[in-house]
Amino acid sequence: MSLPARTILSIVIRMLNSCVDLDSLTSSLLYAYIRSTTPTPNAFTPLYIPITNIPAADVDIRPEFLKVLSHANLESHHLITLDDLPDLSSIESQLPPHNTKWILVDHNALQGTLGSIYSERVQGVIDHHEDEGKVPTDTGDEPRIITKAGSCTSLVTEYCSSAWDGLSSSAQSSGAAHGQDDASGVVDDSAVSALWDAQIAKLALASILVDTANLQSKEKVTDHDVYAAKYLEAKLTAAPQVSKDFDRAKFYKEINAAKKDIGSLPLRDILRKDYKQWMEGKRNLGVSSVVKPIEFLQEKAKEELQDKSKQEAFLAAVEHFAQERNLQIYGIMTTSTSANGDFQRELLVWSFTPEATQAAKKFSQIAAQELGLEDWQGSGGSLDDVEGEKQWRKVWRQREVQHSRKRVAPLLRQAMS
């Protein structure tokens, strides 16, 4: 599928550099689904296009995408990805800025090549990250919602609920008028609408449950998440085909297991699967989030570079990954569960230039108490290199586990500024 050229589009995009996670995907799909069927009276266009900001091939390194899409009767080739955009080298003739309006979900600053072309056309946002002040204060008929929530999809659900209810009511009225007559082949519009609603609701619910640990994470769950989950489950009950076998706990375990199923991926794909990048001044910062501990990554590196120790193989792979992206500072955040069932975090920060080293050391000072940073040492010893001036590396156990990349990245960027 390709975007139509020379047309007027509202583009719903999760476009914070190169990271697209499950929350990003479902936020954009849900918003585009509701807005394209219930546009505002003064809508720029009734056509809202959800763009998944990765190449099509990268969908396959996100097994949770494939699992969730299957619940909505969707397949990976149904997604509109970066491969479907016109050639950016001739963007003016293919998709001129004045023919577009960009709505950001799960981020609030359009960056990279798209940002350089379309940043002035951003006219709406729904996000749960720190406000970077890039979206206009007045967004007209489109939302400007940037607030705390466990999942951005919760905010999209809450915002769209009134329009969604109106859409469902309209379909029910239409279905009642047509009636259901299997013998005559008449299709009940309300039944079809209820099925579609339930499928997209299940897709949206997946993100909320994964991002809030099935609504059990005290640090992440907000009233927005609780409301959205209840609302979406009500949509499920309206379609017996979807609700008859639904069990929230089992559904959460299924999607969460798919998200953690990264054992077959090469280390490079594991690092880029959930990766974000920013530019502070002229310096690049990248942070990967990984759902396995550092020792798992070391073993994975050893499998790929068998002539090296696991520490050497891991550090070589990480340095190569950072060099590919011209990073001055690179971070890896890991999550895992201890033998006692406790949630754990680790943090690696590696700087590659003298200026970046100063910033990394500053970060270690300003963030140590807030993040609960403690020295890390694995079975093979320490990975630290704290003596160098050109490069500096430190690995910690992060005891304050409530702080995800949404907090760690701003602290790193603050130290770099």
Q: What is the pLDDT of residues 351-388, one digit of tens each?
A: 999 999 999 999 999 999 999 999 998 887 889 987 77
pLDDT, residue 172, reads: 62
How many C-beta atoms lie closer than 10 Å to residue 61's C-beta? 18
Query: Are 112 and 17 a contacting pair, CB within 8 Å?
Result: yes
pLDDT, residue 3, reads: 57
3-state secondary structure (DSSP) of residue 395: strand
Residues in a beta bridge with 9: 100
Give the long-range contacts of residues 278-281, CB within 8 A, separation 24 or more: 278/17, 278/111, 278/409, 278/413, 279/111, 280/413, 280/416, 280/417, 281/416, 281/417
Those residues with Cβ within 8 angstroms of residue 145's Cβ, 6 or more apart along the chain or in another chain: 125, 126, 127, 155, 159
Residues of the chain with pLDDT under 50: 5-6, 15-18, 176-184, 186
pLDDT, residue 111, reads: 78
Q: Do domains 1-261 and 267-416 have the same CATH topology?
A: no
Query: Are 99 and 118 a contacting pair, CB within 8 Å?
Result: no
For the domain spanning 1-261, the CATH number is 3.90.1640.10
pLDDT, residue 215, reads: 97
Alpha carbon distance, N-terminus to C-terminus of the chain: 41
**So where are the chain's domains?**
1-261, 267-416
Question: Do the bridges between strand 275-280 and strand 329-337 make them parallel or antiparallel, or are there none, so unpaired?
Answer: unpaired
pLDDT, residue 31, reads: 95
In whole angstroms, what is the distance from residue 258 CA to residue 63 CA?
Answer: 6
pLDDT, residue 208, reads: 98
Radius of gyration of the chain (CA): 23
Query: Are 332 and 381 a contacting pair, CB within 8 Å?
Result: no
Mean pLDDT, the chain, rounded, equals 88
pLDDT, residue 129, reads: 92
In whole angstroms, what is the distance from residue 232 CA to residue 215 CA?
Answer: 14
Those residues with Cβ within 8 angstroms of residue 282's Cβ, 6 or more apart along the chain or in another chain: none
Give me the architecture of the 267-416 domain, per CATH.
Roll (3.10)
pLDDT, residue 266, reads: 95
pLDDT, residue 179, reads: 46
In whole angstroms, what is the distance from residue 414 CA to residue 100 CA?
Answer: 33
Amino acid (1-letter code) at residue 240: P
pLDDT, residue 177, reads: 46
3-state secondary structure (DSSP) of residue 44: coil
